[in-house]
Amino acid sequence: MKLKTTGIEDPFVLQNFDRLNIFFSEENIITSKFKHFEITFTGAVTNQKFPHNLGFLPKDVILTYKVGAGNITFNYDLFDRTNIDVTTTGACVVRLFLGTYKDEAL
């Protein structure tokens, strides 16, 4: 989202609009383009599909939390418009943001 500034001549108003545009593009990137998940694995899995319901192919995973003995690997090359694909070495609980970061110039 970008606020239009055409026709605004006041430099202070323009500066405030620029600050708002920066806020909307940087500060809200996680909540506006990513979905948060918590997944529990009770043991090791290989190539387990997990539905994301995003409606597009996610390209980015931001792992925010992991507890348990197992480690997780995201098999990015097996992601599709419906599921992500993961492998774990054991039981663990993970929390993550899933989506696609798109860098849009202001």
Count CB-CB contacts under 10 A for residue 89.
16
Count CB-CB contacts under 10 A for residue 84.
23
Among 106, 105, 104, which Cα is nearest to 33's?
104
Question: pTM for the full model?
Answer: 0.68
Q: 14 — phi, psi (to 5°)?
A: -60, -40
How far, in Å, CA of 20 to CA of 66, rounded?
Answer: 34
In DSSP terms, 32 is beta-bridged to none
The tens digit of pLDDT for each residue in 35-88 reads: 889 999 999 999 999 999 998 999 999 999 999 999 999 999 999 999 999 999
